[in-house]
Structure 1
Amino acid sequence: MKPKVALIAGPTASGKSDLAVRLALMVRARGQDAVVINADSAQVYADLAVLSARPDAAEMQGVPHRLFGTWDGAQACSAADWAAAAKAEVAAAHATGALPILVGGTGLYIRTLLDGIAPVPPIDPAIRAAVRALPVDEAYRALLIEDPARGARLAWTDSARIARALEVVRSTGQPLAAWQRQLSGGIGDAIDLHAAILMPDRDWLYERCDRRFALMWQNGACAEVRALLDRELDPDLPVMRAIGVPEIRDFLQGRANEADSQAAGQQATRRYAKRQYTWLRHQPPAAWPRVTYENSIDSEKIAMLFQV
């Protein structure tokens, strides 16, 4: 019998963490331990407790939580880095008889853990530096010539993915898609996965995004960004590009007033939720239940979704 893993995926502000804790407590009440494992690319960073809405001790309700605030912002956490750590946490939970509950909305993280990673060789540092120095429009035009299939799939503003695809084809001589067809190391075939995707009403979700960002602003988000700026980290690091950081930075550095910065942060959060919503609607397997709700899921539905 394959070991069971639960997965709760959903857009930001959809209540994933609360549901994960409720599931863990339900499992515990039936005699089995459970561990919540983060699958959110912002909540991995120690520097973003407020801006990532990382659950605090009260919200965890005594349930063990793993990979929350594990990475220092000076170290980028790639999908491969996270997947390796998550794989170890899943194995550790199973070794003690606990149910691992993955929770998050970062599709690349989830896909890498389940399906594996492409064995792309190390990128030549000189090629990487040259690619990353290109203006995004120039890099995009180059990608359309050197890897037209990948270029056609990307928006010309998607600087990170454009740079990655271009450096791979230039360094290895093969497009990224060729490497991705050789995925290895995923745990999907070795586990009994019970997944649910939260797809709340969009108007309800966007209102929650706005309200949550306003609360973040009031409860330490500006101090959190000021601390990041004081560290003088590379502005291209993921932690410096996380939702809310650029918008609050503009306020702290006098380029925008408080109202405009807060509105920009709320808009960035809504746009991110919309992208997650689109990915979660179309990319995961059709067999994964899509759950529509407004504020809560009752215990009977939780038990039915996850077969606990």
Structure 2
Amino acid sequence: MSGMETSRQEVGGRQAGEGRVKNAILIAGPTASGKSALALDLAERKGGVIVNTDSMQGYSVLDVLTARPAAAELARAPHFLYGHVHPSTAYSTGAWLRDVMKLIDDGTLARRPDGPAFERPVIFVGGTGLYFRALAEGISEMPDIPQQVRDRWRYELKEQGAAKLHRILLHEDSAVAMQLKPTDGQRIVRALEVLDASGRSILEWQAARGRPLIDRDSARFFVIEPDRAALVERIESRFDRMLDLGALDEVKRLVALGLDPDLPAMKAIGVRELSAAMADDLSFPEAIERCKAATRQYAKRQTTWFRHQLGPEWLRLQPGDDPNKAF
């Protein structure tokens, strides 16, 4: 393949992603809404498999802090794409979609553990709206970025700052630069590395939409919309449990890796606040309150996105509703 890793790569004599998932079940919802428990219940009832559709739960190290299913839950049904990405990686929607394609193309999602393949429900669950959109609508192809190109622009960001790179982008690709804030270092770097690696604007790549990985006609779409007051209570009690289960130790391990603070994993809710408390820059009670406030704000943003971006095919559920009535 010349220079790109995309959904049109040939895999086993056919296009990757050609075999779309039929009878998929999509479960979206804000953090702490109970969507993982619902997915596990459906997987057990229907003999299905669960695929993580949450950007933060894909990272290793942060098991507790991202509310990833615990070992006992993982043992109750097959789970995929949880904790498989090192925090040093800037995992993207495109990378997630390629990982899903691989699961489809190698038969992992359909294969019974003892051998023969058969149709079994695939349940996609999480809180990352762009993952659901990519899954159901397809995503623009992007070029494969050589590591030396990636390293170069990240070094330049660190040394020169976002504003200087924005001026470079304005000269090289003004149409993209005009859409980005001069402080948005990650998106500026992404535009520059795509241009550097391919010679084409990221806007050209984004214009070419891929194909959905699910068969929309047979899919079931659910979004959990919990009562705001009840969700706040769940968020606060869950964060207290996270602390009891070792969230502080996870933050210590993550910080010890010495990673770039601009990496997505380093922006997980709780990392900055708890690391500041451990460095005595913030009291622990204040850090905990900030973590809970940030989680509440994040849940509100998720709820707003799902309300406005997910179409009428999505069945709106309250926590505790039985989605089996829709089958």
Q: TM-score, normalised on structure 2? A: 0.78
Shift of 1:230: 2.4
Does residue 242 (structure 1) correspond to residue 268 (structure 2)? The answer is yes
Alignment correspondent of 2:325:
304
Alignment correspondent of 2:63:
49
Matches within 5 A, 1:82-93: 82-90=96-104, 91-93=107-109
**Aligned with 2:49: secondary structure?**
strand
In structure 2, what residue type is equivalent to 1:103? V
**1: CA distance, partners of 2:83 / 2:257:** 17
In structure 1, what residue type is equivalent to 2:313? W
Over 3 Å counting, the alpha-carbon distance change for 1:198 and 1:154 in structure 2 is farther
Asked if 1 retains the 8 angstrom alpha-carbon contact of 2:235 and 2:295, the reply is yes
**2: CA distance, partners of 1:241 / 1:223:** 17
1:65-110 deviations in Å (ceiling 9; x for gaps) = 1111222333343222221222333442234322110001112323
**1: CA distance, partners of 2:37 / 2:103:** 20
Over 3 Å counting, the alpha-carbon distance change for 1:121 and 1:21 in structure 2 is closer
Shift of 1:221: 0.6
Percentage of identical aligned residues = 36
**1: CA distance, partners of 2:269 / 2:23:** 33
Alignment correspondent of 1:23:
42
For structure 1, the 5+ residue unaligned runs are: 28-32
Over 3 Å counting, the alpha-carbon distance change for 1:8 and 1:45 in structure 2 is same
**1: CA distance, partners of 2:80 / 2:35:** 15
**2: CA distance, partners of 1:155 / 1:139:** 11
Alignment correspondent of 1:35:
49
Shift of 1:224: 1.0
Q: TM-score, normalised on structure 1? A: 0.82
Q: 1:203 aligns with which of 192, 214, 229?
A: 229
1:3-55 deviations in Å (ceiling 9; x for gaps) = 2111101111111101101112222xxxxx20011111111122011101111
Q: 2:257 aligns with which of 189, 211, 231?
A: 231
In structure 1, what residue type is equivalent to 2:142? P
Does residue 104 (structure 1) correspond to residue 126 (structure 2)? The answer is yes
Alignment correspondent of 2:139:
116
Does residue 265 (structure 1) correspond to residue 291 (structure 2)? The answer is yes
**1: CA distance, partners of 2:174 / 2:303:** 27
My pick for the range that moved more, 165-174 or 204-213, is: 165-174
**Aligned with 1:37: secondary structure?**
strand
1:156-211 deviations in Å (ceiling 9; x for gaps) = 65443343245445665654332111133541458732111112223322332222
Asked if 2 retains the 8 angstrom alpha-carbon contact of 1:116 and 1:187, the reply is no
**Aligned with 2:24: secondary structure?**
strand
My pick for the range that moved more, 66-75 or 167-176, is: 167-176
**1: CA distance, partners of 2:169 / 2:228:** 34
The CA RMSD over aligned residues, in Å, is 3.0
Over 3 Å counting, the alpha-carbon distance change for 1:133 and 1:167 in structure 2 is farther
Asked if 2 retains the 8 angstrom alpha-carbon contact of 1:2 and 1:192, the reply is no
**2: CA distance, partners of 1:156 / 1:292:** 40
Q: 2:202 aligns with which of 151, 165, 176?
A: 176
My pick for the range that moved more, 176-185 or 96-105, is: 176-185
In structure 2, what residue type is equivalent to 1:253? A
Does residue 215 (structure 1) correspond to residue 241 (structure 2)? The answer is yes
Asked if 2 retains the 8 angstrom alpha-carbon contact of 1:217 and 1:262, the reply is no
**1: CA distance, partners of 2:229 / 2:184:** 26
Asked if 2 retains the 8 angstrom alpha-carbon contact of 1:13 and 1:205, the reply is yes
1:233-271 deviations in Å (ceiling 9; x for gaps) = 333332222111111111111111101111111122122
Alignment correspondent of 2:82:
68
Over 3 Å counting, the alpha-carbon distance change for 1:121 and 1:71 in structure 2 is closer
**2: CA distance, partners of 1:154 / 1:184:** 24
In structure 1, what residue type is equivalent to 2:314? P
In structure 1, what residue type is equivalent to 2:263? L
